[in-house]
Amino acid sequence: MELPGFAVAVWMFACFYASVGGYPNGKVREACTSMVPCHGSSPQLSPEHTITVNGTEFKPGDSIEVHLSGPDFEGFFVQARDAEHLDSPAVGSFVLADRRHSQLLTCGRTKNSAVSHTSKAKKKDIKVYWIAPGDAPKHVQFLATVVKKYRIFWVKIPGPIVSQPDVLSPTPPLHATSEAISTSYPVSCISKPFSASGCGSMKFCIRNPSNCDPGSASCFFLSFQQEESSVFIEMSGPSEGYLAFALSHDQWMGGDDAYLCVNEDHRVHVSTAHLKERSHPLLDSENALEDVSWRLADGLLQCSFRRSIRLPAYKGRFNLDTSYYIFLADGEASQGGPIHKHRRQPLVTDGLYNVTGLPHDIGGSRSPRLIKAHGALMFVAWITTVSIGVIVARFFKPVWSHSFLLGKELWFQVHRMLMLTTVMLTSISFVLPFVYRGGWSQQAGFHPYLGCAVMALTIFQPLMAGFRPSRHAPRRQLFNWFHWSTGTTARILAVVTMFLGMDLPALDLPDPWDTYAMIGFVAWHVGTDVLLEIHSYCLVRKVEVIEDDRVQILQSLTSAEAEGRLFKQIVLTIYVCGNIVFLVAFLIAINQV
């Protein structure tokens, strides 16, 4: 499966906003046989529209005027069939009377054998002409599928029967929507929340968060229980729109077997679909599901159904005795319209599982491992190593100026080690999203652009440091300014980039906790910096004589600051501990998504 970035995201599950067959342009050849719209719901039982003709007899080559009328409708699909064999292919051809609202389609081998809409603009009546073929059956009946709106439609509305001269009366006409009823399924309501009892022993379960109670309004639950040659499936979650799961051969969206439970006008419609790459799901006109039930209560959407382990007659349905990655997603659905793309990354199992094999009780992750590693490394780099390195360089020159490590002052070695660690962590982290996406993400907003800017500044900073002038050189002060401004700009952009990245679908840390935690870290760092600045200023005020040439911008103030050595070391210890607390909190949050 191939995920979006996005905005992966792309992962998954939306629907064509369309009329018959999910196409607003009326090109619905997929429905030529069944005449059933791929809208994932059952047809209405009592048709509101009628078909009339201007004659009851015909001879080969005759033209018969066919009129479809009734309350406003968006889509339609008209055919003529052998009245005694309504499952047979369409017969004859049509000629249009109004090309603005109708178009010709070819079903099977017969050219222009069906008529459909050209757009979803509302209309009240349609007129076409049917041309009788030379090999026409004795009796022909006109059928129409009419779509009032996306989930309100009638299938195979029976029209008049026309006959060739001097033949016996036809069999009784088709009753309205009987074909649609035969392709739908009975639906009942679930009486209580699902139970996790038997998970891992009798049935295969996926829960998010791990080990959550299916009756909780914050628990996503999916279970599979084998019963002889079929599997009973339960799915629930806190969704007012839709829940969906898919079986996939990989961890990318595309070529997958999907199942959707959609809340439509306080009723739940259960349907199967096929996912093609990162596009809307193609809803099936015929369901292979049995014992369909649903429940909407206490903020939960629940649905259950049964399907056979093997369904060779249904194209796109995977065999359930094979191992797959399993996706679980949720999102919004329009009233009377299609479902929308999921707002966050779907939950994906971390491996291939056979739902009819050994039962498991597992969780899943809504964030890919590479993206988790990307976020974790960035937090380590920009919450700990950079922040501590800046504090050390800014305030500990006089404190550690007489301590040496490997021939260099201690403060400088600590600063350089922390900054080089930052460069290494940032570089590794920077590559991971590109490895995962296989290129640039168009759905991640400003985050990747700012990330590239941070990466560029991170590389530029040590390169510039490698050409720093000697301590007393005339250009040293200019270098200090550039070194400080580059580093400060990188830190500010890094914080902004992390703010944006935390809410992207591929990571999506818990709201609003992530925002408050990041604000807390920024306040913690700024507060520590201000405290040490005030302390340095107070030390300077104690000095009776300050030579003007000794006070330089961006350098340690004077040796008088050494008097506050104990205070600074205490502040640094507390600061490092605080940074570690923030870091651990973010890492735990990343691990749980």
- Tell me which residue of 322, 370, 362 sits closest to 345, measured CA to CA: 370
What domains are there in the chain, each with its CATH number? 29-164 (2.60.40.4060), 204-365 (2.60.40), 369-592 (1.20.120)
Give me the pLDDT at residue 28, please.
66
The mean-pLDDT minimum among 94-98, 403-407, 459-463 falls in 403-407
Q: What is the pLDDT of residues 479-496, one digit of tens each?
A: 989 999 999 999 999 999
Give me the pLDDT at residue 386, please.
93
Strand partners, 243: 261, 330
Give me the pLDDT at residue 143, please.
95
- Tell me which residue of 238, 241, 195, 191 sits closest to 217, measured CA to CA: 238
| Cα 506 to Cα 342, 371, 453, distances in angstroms | 12, 7, 21
- Tell me which residue of 163, 171, 159 sits closest to 49, measured CA to CA: 159
The mean-pLDDT minimum among 79-83, 215-219, 384-388 falls in 215-219
* pTM score: 0.58
pLDDT band at 86 (very low <50, low <70, confident <90, very high): confident
What phi, psi does 100 have (nearest 5°)?
-70, -35
**Range with top average pLDDT, 58-62, 175-179, 215-219:** 58-62
CB 500 within 8 A of CB 453: no
Positive or negative torsion for Cα 150, 151, 152, 154: positive
pLDDT band at 445 (very low <50, low <70, confident <90, very high): confident
Give me the pLDDT at residue 159, please.
93
CA 439/CA 430 separation, integer angstroms:
12
CB 184 within 8 A of CB 175: no
In the predicted model, is pLDDT for residue 352 greater than 50? yes
In the predicted model, is pLDDT for residue 162 greater than 80? yes
Give me the pLDDT at residue 550, please.
47
Helix (H, G, I), strand (E, B) or coil at 346: coil
Strand partners, 303: 235, 294
Q: What is the pLDDT of residues 98-137, one digit of tens each?
A: 899 999 998 878 889 999 999 889 999 999 999 999 999 9
> Half-sphere exposure (CA, 13 Å, Cβ side) for 174?
29
Q: What is the mean pLDDT of the chain?
A: 82
CA 136/CA 124 separation, integer angstroms:
30
Residue 14: is it exposed, middle or buried by C-beta count within 10 angstroms (0-12/13-18/19+)?
buried
Residues in the chain: 593
Other C-beta atoms closer than 10 Å to the C-beta of 192 total 9
CB 373 within 8 A of CB 410: no
The token pair that represents 297 in the structure block: 């209560």
Q: How many Å separate Cα 287 from the centre of its chain?
A: 24
Q: What is the pLDDT of residues 521-575, one digit of tens each?
A: 999 999 999 999 898 888 767 654 444 444 444 444 445 555 678 888 899 999 9
DSSP string over 314-331: STTPPPTTS-BEEEEEEE
Q: Any idea what the Cα angle at residue 259 is, between residues 287 and 201, rounded to 5°?
A: 110
